[in-house]
Amino acid sequence: MEKQSKIFVAGHRGLLGASLIKELLAQGYAHLITRTHQELDLTDRGKVNVFFRREKPEYVFLTAGRNGGIKANATYPADFFHANIAIQDSVFEAAQKNEIKHLVFYASSCIYPKISAQPMKEEYLLTGAIEPTSEGYAAAKIAGIFACRSYNNQHQTKRFIALVPNSMFGPNDHFDLDNAHVFSSLIRKFHEAKNTGERKIVLWGSGSPRREFVFVDDVAKASIFAMQNAGRLENIHYNIGSGQDFSIKELAAMIVEVVGFKGNVEWNVSLPDGAPRKLLDSSRFLALGWRSQTEIMNGLRKTYEWYNRNSN
């Protein structure tokens, strides 16, 4: 990937897309292509193919898609499945037809079994039942992984690269309480409770599930690293994680400290926990030379500073 290569970041205003734009510019990549959803509907195969034919991107980071936390996944499984399948099908086919050099696709740790040995290796995919509350989204992401593998096998290429980052957090996340992931949702809940003087916050579940969080800038750097080292990659998906997990109770305590909430935290155990633990084994990608660099408290402070500046 040369500094003047034409690079399309699909979903450039989202959590990972915005971080990728920032990191690509910082590394000297000057020819970036972006489109808003209003400018290009990525579920429309015809429009996507015309876009690829006209713009001729050489490299694609496919960060666009529909995602959310446990509540949103459980409420809109068909919407999550349809939107992500449609985007993947349109973009993958256009990328192959127009012979781009490489595309990075992003799956999610929810592709792995709900009950799995830890940390989760790439080969654990499809070895057990996935978490029911996220099955629509997970099924679409599993299909994306197999699409990457299938296109590469059929066309004898390494064009498609599949990465599986664990729970990302950072600036430019969405903090909608009905759709956000646990990290950004808790930031907003504690921030608003502090500002309104609430004395108690009730959170979903028991707080015992453990999650691995990775700062979005680290995933952006991992993505560019993968693109730069595409020739060294196998036709498999690669886990991307920080190597450390925390219980949701521990995460809540960290956010309470950073936000400055002074009230009590209670847990509603009648509401679902989701998978008991999701820690990835990222040793295959680490062996290539990449490392996560951002400690969770440092990333949390950066995220909360961004939220404070943009919460209105």
pLDDT of 277 reads: 92
Residue found by looking up tokens 């040995």 in the block: 117
Nearest residue to 62 via CA among 125, 124, 145, 139: 145
What is the mean predicted confidence (pLDDT) over 5-30? Answer: 97
pLDDT of 282 reads: 98
Give catalytic status of residue 137 as yes or no.
Answer: yes
Taking the C-alpha atoms of residue 247 and residue 207, their distance in angstroms, rounded to an integer, is 6
Share of the chain above pLDDT 70, in %: 100
pLDDT digits (tens, 9 = 90+) for 202-231: 998 999 999 999 999 999 999 999 999 999
CB–CB of 201/190 below 8 Å? yes
Question: With left for phi above 0 and alpha for psi between -120 and 50, is residue 272 left, alpha or beta?
Answer: beta
Buried b / exposed e along 274-303 (16+ C-beta atoms within 10 A): bbebbbbbbeebbeeebebebebeebbebb
Q: Record the tokens describing residue 270, joined without a space.
A: 């009648």
Question: Rounded mean pLDDT of the chain?
Answer: 95
Q: Is the pLDDT of residue 137 over 90?
A: yes
pLDDT digits (tens, 9 = 90+) for 98-114: 999 999 999 999 999 99
| Catalytic one of 137, 151, 238, 304 | 137
pLDDT of 178 reads: 72
The reported pTM is 0.95
pLDDT of 171 reads: 95
Taking the C-alpha atoms of residue 100 and residue 185, their distance in angstroms, rounded to an integer, is 37
DSSP 39-93: T--TT-HHHHHHHHHHH--SEEEE-------HHHHHH-HHHHHHHHHHHHHHHHH
CATH superfamily of the 7-310 domain: NAD(P)-binding Rossmann-like Domain (3.40.50.720)
pLDDT of 198 reads: 94
CB–CB of 122/238 below 8 Å? yes
Residues 6+ apart with CB under 8 A from 67: 80, 108, 137, 181
Taking the C-alpha atoms of residue 280 and residue 311, their distance in angstroms, rounded to an integer, is 31
Q: Give the residue ranges of DSSP H helices in the chain.
A: 15-26, 45-55, 70-75, 77-97, 135-155, 182-196, 216-228, 248-259, 283-286, 296-310
To 5 degrees, how large is the angle CA 40–CA 138–CA 7?
35
pLDDT digits (tens, 9 = 90+) for 57-115: 999 999 999 887 777 778 889 999 999 999 999 999 999 999 999 999 999 999 999 99
CB–CB of 19/63 below 8 Å? no
Per domain, the residue ranges of the chain are 7-310
